[in-house]
A and B are shown apart, each in its own frame.
Chain A
Amino acid sequence: MEFQSPLTLKNIIINTGNLLSLNDITKKPGQNTTEELVEAVNITLKDFRNTNKINSIEGEQITITRPYEDLASRIAEHEINDLKIGLKVFVENDKEDQLVEALDKTFKALNISSVQNVVLSYNNKQSEGQNDVIEKIKNIWKTLEKFVQDKKILQIGLSDVEELVFRTIYDWANIKPNIIQINLASCCVVPPTLQAFCKDNDVQLLTHSDPNDILPDESIQSLFGAQLTLQWVVRFLVHIKCRGVLKTKGYLLSLSNH
């Protein structure tokens, strides 16, 4: 890994662009989320190295993108009202500035001003107790609520939380979660109480297959040859409404080098 120059910078933002236009990714449909993300970052780094875009450095931050990327143009093929744009934000802490940065950078990359839904995945890396987790999620939730109030997000949801945590947040929140995502990779069993709660409160009970720790330290080490710190990952999914067609899919992530 001779990717030296950016490592002297404080912060690296990587935008994989539209993965649906990468044949190498399409040809490996069996990859899990982490494998797919690692491969997408690898391709992005390789493509970026081959072009040496210096103007992507702003202060102590570098933004790494692929040249000839069709993300914005694929979205622009449609009226924005015909699209349903959803984000999933993976964070490991409750720092407001990082979440704001994650959302702002994503809006900018997609060239949009609002999205339909944002689902939060909080990676409890320190194995905190349930009450601590609830407090952290509450802090993050307040930031998300501001985005909803500013009409930048229509619906917000939570991923991979215990039923009790979900209910606690639901009861506490000003803007209630509309979505709960649970991991059903291996079985079809949803607690009946959670099912009933979702039904009674019009909460969408959805599935996902993402690991909680989407980019483990070992993956970061092997990608960059250095132990950078993951700040956030956003996955964006753009669908054409009512047609079941996925238009673009990709990731933005931020790593810091201290």
Chain B
Amino acid sequence: MGLLTEGSPLSWAETKSQAEHVRQHGVIQFINLYKRLRDRQGDILKWGDEVEYIIVKFDHEKKIAKLSLRSHEILAILNEKELADPQGVKSLWRPEYGGYMIEGTPGKPYGGLLAHFNIVEANMKYRREEVTQLLQPGEVILSMTNFPRLGCEDFTDPVTKPTPDEGATRSFFFPDDAIFPHPRFKNLSRNIRERRGEKVCINLPVYRDVNTEIPVDDSYLRSKAAKPDRVYLDAMGFGMGCCCLQLTFQACNIREARTLYDQLTPLCPIMLALTAASPIYRGFLTDVDCRWNIISGSVDCRTEEERGLKPLKENKFVINKSRYDSIDSYLSESGEKYNDVPLVYDKAIYEKLRANDIDHLLAQHIAHLFIRDTVSLFSERINQDDEHDTDHFENIQSTNWQTMRFKPPPPNSTIGWRVEFRPCEAQITDFENAAIVCFVVLLTRVILSYQLNFIIPISKVDENMQNAQKRGANLNQTFWFRKDITTQISPPEANECCKKGYANCCDAFEPMTINQIINGKVGEFPGLIPLINNYLSGMDVDTDTHCTIQQYLKFIQHRASGEILTTASWLRKFVTSHPEYKQDSKVTERINYDLLSTIHKIQKGEVSCPELLGHTTTSKTKESIPTALYKESLRLERE
């Protein structure tokens, strides 16, 4: 998320009355930018990661850990630093939904040399250190997907209270005062709730241990929406208050961006399962390992009509997913026949895009994004110059929070067509986060080099997304995956098969484990890491970078094979083996304190944790790339 608009947010009634205006102008803005930028060519690889952090405040005497609501104070200092030297800063900091959250990215994107993979972790360490210096005694920052006791009584510092009868959220658990103080966030919460016509509602299956009590608490007495055997969550903050690990990379042109958007889509559930890191919600161990469906439910602004619970009267569409969910259609020609779920899209917008020479696949993608209303509008931004502004397009685009995002170049910039990869959960250490982002970016290079094809029917990706979130999915679930990912010379019988459509081509994909997908299956499937290693053998890699990448890849191999635990499994194990745990699924103040203290020590390297990280976690990451390579890269760019 970029720097936030200053100004006055409109009420939901006002926003709603402008929804059609935003939609119409947003589409015109897209058409104009597409005409300007469709033929843009020759952009080099640039990429960057985004890591979100929570600020935790320890009370070491009382053995309590809370969320510190000081991110606005810390951000003010960091943003001042950026404003003073926008080109020179090594990191950029942005607010996130929670008043206890902060998002950091590298100051400049990484480039197309392999040596850039060796500076990622060093930059992550720098960022963590930079914020740490601004913290008060007892405060730490953690890259942890979800604070285990989010929404429990007095979980913030200073203490804030939920306001079920007034304000933006009206949650029984999540106070409005825990939201970041910029008006955008409260406004989004209120608009989503008002648009939906009721509070958001998430009922998570509790992890049933021997002493787990059902009903889990008295939520079902307070709200009809709460189910007695579930952990009930009723606020945007339960989802958008989670931390993610994301990355964005620039493609050489729009075609490559569409290809990578499609090719990475089947990998979203795989990476979600592999990075699973959030099994605890509102102080309960649950039966899910990931944040995904929680965020999805937490911003689900669909009305009852749109959810198919009532016949359509006020609304135009029955929509099968929240605006935060897995993508709904492929964008490249090779993906087209795998778009097997009927796409809900605005026919008039589609026709308008088609009339402006935008192809079917891109037109239906945009027309699908634009079935959503704006849920955040500022009075100063209503009237725009559609030739040059893209705010209304971005308004809808940036509130379609999907697994992948296809991003047009921003106006008046040197940036090209980009793709954002959004499914991963934040890991505890910089080593892990760096390993995951480097793995994904390396994979994009392997896909382009070997022209691999991972595409499976979009319905199967949806199925995989659900399986990926189950407890222990990384080891216990199987995922639909393409059997043959090579594309070069198909034997005639395969061609025949494909002509009839994938439905008749039953051997095109099959269930595989994460281990088989990552590490390979002898004689049947090459494995993503062996492919990356083969690619690396054909690249010029300096010795330090080679060593670092090998450590990252080994770490991912071990996670995939189960030799080491996912973050989610480790968190479960920590809780269930804690002396105070009563086999009742409850994560008490003391367990929470010990857990977060241990995480902090692991992150700092004060405590080793081979069952989570393996045995080698010190990479050869450096602050800058070797001079000889840097000089060569300048020469190559000049030629």
A182 to B542, CA, bound (A): 10
Q: Which partner residue on chain B sits nearest A181 by CB separation?
A: B540
Given A21-B488, A26-B450, A26-B526, the answer on whether A202 and B45 have CB atoms closer than 8 Å is no
Determine the chain B residues whose CB is within 8 A of the CB of A27 once the complex forms: 486, 526
**Residues A205 and B486 in contact, CB atoms below 8 Å apart:** no
A31 to B540, CA, bound (A): 19
Q: How far is the CB of B189 from chain A (nearest CB, A)?
A: 41
Report 16 cross-chain contacts, Cβ distance below 8 Å, ordered by A residue.
Answer: A22-B488, A23-B489, A26-B450, A29-B526, A30-B520, A33-B537, A188-B547, A188-B550, A195-B543, A198-B628, A199-B628, A207-B543, A241-B112, A242-B113, A244-B114, A244-B539
**Residues A242 and B636 in contact, CB atoms below 8 Å apart:** yes
**Residues B450 and A242 in contact, CB atoms below 8 Å apart:** no
As a 0/1 sequence over residues 538 to 552 of chain B, the CB contacts with chain A under 8 angstroms (1 = contact) are: 111111001100100
Given A188-B550, A206-B543, the answer on whether A245 and B620 have CB atoms closer than 8 Å is no
For residue A184, CB closer than 8 A to chain B, the reply is yes
Given A184-B547, A188-B547, the answer on whether A245 and B448 have CB atoms closer than 8 Å is yes
Binds A, one of B19-27, B381-389, B509-517, B527-535: B527-535
Q: Which residues in chain A, 24-59, are within 8 Å of chain B measured between CB atoms?
A: 26-31, 33
A241 to B111, CA, bound (A): 11
A182 to B252, CA, bound (A): 32
Q: How far is the CB of A73 from chain B (nearest CB, A)?
A: 13
The answer, among A31, A178, A190, for a CB contact under 8 Å with B628, is A178
Given A184-B546, A243-B45, the answer on whether A29 and B534 have CB atoms closer than 8 Å is yes
A128 to B550, CA, bound (A): 34
Q: How far is the CB of A118 from chain B (nearest CB, A)?
A: 13
Q: Which 8 A-B pairs have the closest CB atoms?
A: A188-B547, A29-B534, A242-B112, A242-B44, A23-B486, A246-B449, A29-B530, A207-B546
Q: How far is the CB of A228 from chain B (nearest CB, A)?
A: 26
**Residues A184 and B543 in contact, CB atoms below 8 Å apart:** yes
**Residues B620 and A202 in contact, CB atoms below 8 Å apart:** no
Determine the chain A residues whose CB is within 8 A of the CB of B531 once the complex forms: 26, 29
For residue A104, CB closer than 8 A to chain B, the reply is no
Q: Which partner residue on chain A sits nearest B445 by CB separation?
A: A244
Q: How far is the CB of A133 from chain B (nearest CB, A)?
A: 22
For residue B637, CB closer than 8 A to chain A, the reply is yes
Q: How far is the CB of B383 from chain A (nearest CB, A)?
A: 40
Q: Which residues in chain B, 620-639, are within 8 Å of chain A measured between CB atoms?
A: 620, 626-629, 631-633, 636-637, 639
Determine the chain A residues whose CB is within 8 A of the CB of B486 once the complex forms: 23, 26-27
Determine the chain B residues whose CB is within 8 A of the CB of A26 once the complex forms: 450, 452, 486, 488, 526, 531
**Residues B540 and A206 in contact, CB atoms below 8 Å apart:** yes
A21 to B487, CA, bound (A): 8
Determine the chain A residues whose CB is within 8 A of the CB of B45 once the complex forms: 242-244
The answer, among A209, A242, A243, for a CB contact under 8 Å with B537, is A209
Q: How far is the CB of B595 from chain A (nearest CB, A)?
A: 33
Q: How far is the CB of A112 from chain B (nearest CB, A)?
A: 14
Determine the chain B residues whose CB is within 8 A of the CB of A203 once the complex forms: 628
Given A84-B636, A207-B546, A242-B113, the answer on whether A23 and B537 have CB atoms closer than 8 Å is no
For residue B342, CB closer than 8 A to chain A, the reply is no
**Residues A202 and B631 in contact, CB atoms below 8 Å apart:** yes
Q: How far is the CB of B622 from chain A (nearest CB, A)?
A: 12
- Among A33, A84, A205, the most chain B Cβ lie within 10 Å of the Cβ of A205
**Residues A204 and B526 in contact, CB atoms below 8 Å apart:** no
Q: Which partner residue on chain B sits nearest A30 by CB separation?
A: B530
For residue B492, CB closer than 8 A to chain A, the reply is no
Q: Which residues in chain A, 154-204, are within 8 Å of chain B measured between CB atoms?
A: 178, 182, 184, 188, 190, 195, 198-199, 202-204
Determine the chain B residues whose CB is within 8 A of the CB of A249 once the complex forms: 538
Determine the chain B residues whose CB is within 8 A of the CB of A31 once the complex forms: 534
Q: Which partner residue on chain A sits nearest B112 by CB separation?
A: A242
Determine the chain A residues whose CB is within 8 A of the CB of B632 once the complex forms: 204
**Residues A244 and B537 in contact, CB atoms below 8 Å apart:** no
- Among B113, B114, B538, B540, the most chain A Cβ lie within 10 Å of the Cβ of B540
Q: Which partner residue on chain A sits nearest B486 by CB separation?
A: A23
**Residues B636 and A23 in contact, CB atoms below 8 Å apart:** no
Q: How far is the CB of A37 from chain B (nearest CB, A)?
A: 12
Determine the chain B residues whose CB is within 8 A of the CB of A190 once the complex forms: 543
Q: How far is the CB of B414 from chain A (nearest CB, A)?
A: 14
**Residues B533 and A29 in contact, CB atoms below 8 Å apart:** yes
For residue B42, CB closer than 8 A to chain A, the reply is yes
**Residues B112 and A243 in contact, CB atoms below 8 Å apart:** yes
The answer, among A23, A86, A199, A208, for a CB contact under 8 Å with B626, is A199
A36 to B628, CA, bound (A): 30
Q: Which residues in chain B, 223-246, are within 8 Å of chain A measured between CB atoms?
A: none
The answer, among A195, A202, A245, for a CB contact under 8 Å with B449, is A245
Q: Which partner residue on chain A sits nearest B111 by CB separation?
A: A242
A227 to B450, CA, bound (A): 34
The answer, among A22, A28, A33, A241, for a CB contact under 8 Å with B636, is A241
Q: How far is the CB of A181 from chain B (nearest CB, A)?
A: 9
For residue A81, CB closer than 8 A to chain B, the reply is yes
A202 to B635, CA, bound (A): 14
A198 to B626, CA, bound (A): 10
**Residues B527 and A207 in contact, CB atoms below 8 Å apart:** no
For residue A101, CB closer than 8 A to chain B, the reply is no
Q: Which partner residue on chain B sits nearest A21 by CB separation?
A: B488
Q: A245-B445, A246-B538 are in contact. List 11 more A-B contacts (CB 8 A).
A: A23-B486, A23-B489, A198-B626, A198-B628, A205-B543, A237-B538, A240-B252, A242-B113, A242-B637, A244-B45, A244-B539
A85 to B450, CA, bound (A): 17
Determine the chain B residues whose CB is within 8 A of the CB of A202 once the complex forms: 627-628, 631
A188 to B554, CA, bound (A): 14
Determine the chain A residues whose CB is within 8 A of the CB of B520 once the complex forms: 29-30
A62 to B527, CA, bound (A): 38
- Among A20, A27, A208, A209, the most chain B Cβ lie within 10 Å of the Cβ of A27
**Residues A205 and B113 in contact, CB atoms below 8 Å apart:** no
Q: How far is the CB of B613 from chain A (nearest CB, A)?
A: 17
Q: Which partner residue on chain A sits nearest B539 by CB separation?
A: A246
Determine the chain A residues whose CB is within 8 A of the CB of B533 once the complex forms: 29-30
A26 to B484, CA, bound (A): 11
Q: How far is the CB of B349 from chain A (nearest CB, A)?
A: 34
A240 to B449, CA, bound (A): 10
Q: Which partner residue on chain B sits nearest A86 by CB separation?
A: B540
Determine the chain A residues whose CB is within 8 A of the CB of B42 once the complex forms: 82
**Residues B543 and A188 in contact, CB atoms below 8 Å apart:** yes
A74 to B526, CA, bound (A): 24
**Residues A244 and B542 in contact, CB atoms below 8 Å apart:** no
Determine the chain B residues whose CB is within 8 A of the CB of A33 once the complex forms: 537
As a 0/1 sequence over residues 445 to 465 of chain B, the CB contacts with chain A under 8 angstroms (1 = contact) are: 100111110000000000000
- Among A23, A84, A208, the most chain B Cβ lie within 10 Å of the Cβ of A23
Determine the chain B residues whose CB is within 8 A of the CB of A138 once the complex forms: none
A82 to B44, CA, bound (A): 10
For residue A239, CB closer than 8 A to chain B, the reply is yes
A227 to B160, CA, bound (A): 83
Determine the chain B residues whose CB is within 8 A of the CB of A245 once the complex forms: 445, 448-449
Q: How far is the CB of A140 from chain B (nearest CB, A)?
A: 21
Determine the chain B residues whose CB is within 8 A of the CB of A178 once the complex forms: 628
A244 to B627, CA, bound (A): 18
As a 0/1 sequence over residues 76 to 113 of chain A, the CB contacts with chain B under 8 angstroms (1 = contact) are: 00000110101000000000000000000000000000
Q: Which partner residue on chain A sits nearest B487 by CB separation?
A: A23
Given A29-B531, A188-B547, A244-B114, the answer on whether A204 and B540 have CB atoms closer than 8 Å is yes
Q: How far is the CB of B112 from chain A (nearest CB, A)?
A: 4
Q: How far is the CB of B425 from chain A (nearest CB, A)?
A: 26
Q: How far is the CB of A36 from chain B (nearest CB, A)?
A: 8
**Residues A21 and B489 in contact, CB atoms below 8 Å apart:** yes
Q: How far is the CB of A128 from chain B (nearest CB, A)?
A: 27
Q: How far is the CB of B9 from chain A (nearest CB, A)?
A: 41
Q: Which partner residue on chain A sits nearest B632 by CB separation?
A: A204
- Among B44, B449, B526, B530, the most chain A Cβ lie within 10 Å of the Cβ of B449
**Residues B628 and A243 in contact, CB atoms below 8 Å apart:** no
